[in-house]
Amino acid sequence: MGKTIEKFPFLRACRRKPTPYTPIWLMRQAGRYMKEYRALRKRFSFLEMCKNPEVAAQVTLQPIDKFKLDAAIIFSDILIPLEPMGVKFEFAKGEGPVFHRPVRELKDVERLKIIEPEEEIPFLMESIRIVRRELEGKIPLIGFSGAPFTLASYMIEGGHSRNYILTKGLMYQNRPAWNLLMEKVSEVLIRYLNAQVRAGVQALQIFDSWVGCLNPTDYEEYVFPYTQKVLGNLDRSVPVIHFGTSTSALLPLMKKAGGDVIGVDWRVDLGEAWARIGYDVGIQGNLDPVVLFGPVDLIKKEVKRILDQAGGRPGHIFNLGHGILPNTPVEHVSALVDMVHEYSSQVKQGKR
C-alpha cells in the first residue's frame, strides 16, 4: 500500500501527504457531456451500461483518455445494490429513478434482503477488474456507494424529492422501521464497499447527496450512528472520501462520523470549511459545476480562488461541488484540469 500511495498524487492527498500539485478528478466525469458516452447511450439503456462490465469499463475510461485527470471512478450508480435487496426500480425518461413499491412500513423493511455483493452484483466487480487492467497503474481507481440516509430516502420517497416528507415521516413516526431499514442498508453497504476493494479499487467515496435536508440534531440522532458504522467498518487499506451536498451545517458531525477526506459542495467557502472540520482530515471540492459554462477567464478566477483558500496545504483534492452537468463544454473541462495542475504547482513551489 505504501508504494501505491507514494506513486499517485491523488492517494497522497487523501492521506494528507505532500504532492507536487493539487490532484483533480470530477464527480460524474464519465457522462452525458461527452460525445463518446452519448454514442454508447444510444445503444444501451443506463442500467444496461451499468450491468455490462465491458461497457461500464469503457465509459469509466473515456474521460481518462481525454483529460489529464488524477483518478478514475468506476461507472455505476448508487442505486445498484438496492435491486438485489428486493427494491425494484427503473429509470424513467425525464424523471430519473422510479420505485414502484416504495419502502414505507415495517413489513416492507422486513422483506429487504442482506446481500452478498460478489454473488449478486458480479458485473460491478468485473468492471473494476477490467478497468484496473486497462489503467496499468497510470492513475488510481475510485469505487463508491450512496450513504445510508440517501439510499433509504430513495426507497421511501420512491424517487427524487424536494422536501423529504415521507422520509422524515418514517424517521419521526416509526422508529422501529427506520432503525431496521438503516441497519440493513448499512450492513449491505459495508459488504458492498469492501467487495469493491477486494475487486481492486484504490479509494472509496460515500455519497450522502440528500442528507443536507436534515438539521444537525436530527442528523446526530437518526443518521450519524449508521454512517459512522459504515465508515468504521471499511477496509482501511484504502482512503475514504465522505461527501454530501448542502451540508455546511453538518460538516463537524460528518467529520466525526468518519472519512479520510470530507467532500464539500460549492455553497460553502472551502477554506472556512476546512478550518471548521480541522486540518487532521483532507478536503475535496468545490467548484460550482455551472461555472464550467462560463468564460475561461471566469473558470481561471474561480480555480485560483479555491486553490488560494486551500493555501497549498497537503490534503486538498480539487473537484466540483457536485457532479458535472450535461452539455458542459468539453474544452472547458480540459482547461479546468490544466489550470488546476499549473496554478497549484506554482503555489506549492512558492512561485505564487
pLDDT band at 4 (very low <50, low <70, confident <90, very high): low
Domain coordinates of the chain in residue numbers?
Answer: 46-66+71-263
- Note whether 352 and 344 are within 8 A (CB): no
* Catalytic member of 33, 37, 154, 222: 154
Whether the pLDDT of residue 93 is over 90: the answer is no
Mean pLDDT of 218-247: 98
Mean pLDDT of 126-140: 96
46-66+71-263: what fold? TIM Barrel (3.20.20)
CA distance 156 to 164: 9
Q: What is the pLDDT of residue 55?
A: 98
The one-character DSSP state at 58 is: H
Q: Which of 117-121, 255-259, 326-330, 343-347 is least confident?
A: 343-347
Active-site annotation holds for 16 = no
CA distance 351 to 27: 30
pTM above 0.75, yes or no: yes
CA distance 184 to 229: 12
* Catalytic member of 12, 16, 28, 191: 28
Q: Name the average pLDDT for the chain.
A: 95
CA distance 184 to 186: 5
pLDDT band at 111 (very low <50, low <70, confident <90, very high): very high
Active-site annotation holds for 77 = yes
Q: What is the pLDDT of residue 216?
A: 98
Residue 80, number of CB atoms within 10 A of its CB? 18
C-alpha grid cell, residue 144 = 463508491
How many percent of the chain have pLDDT more than 70?
97
pLDDT tens per residue across span 323-352: 999 999 999 999 999 999 999 998 777 666
Q: What is the pLDDT of residue 1?
A: 45
Active-site annotation holds for 32 = yes
pLDDT tens per residue across span 58-74: 999 999 999 999 999 99
Mean pLDDT of 13-35: 96
Mean pLDDT of 135-140: 94
DSSP letters spanning 330-350: HHHHHHHHHHHHHHHHHHHTT
Does residue 322 or residue 91 have the better pLDDT?
322
Mean pLDDT of 294-313: 96
pLDDT band at 92 (very low <50, low <70, confident <90, very high): confident
Active-site annotation holds for 297 = no
CB environment 287-309: b (16+ within 10 A), e (fewer): bbbebbeeeeeebeebbbebbeb
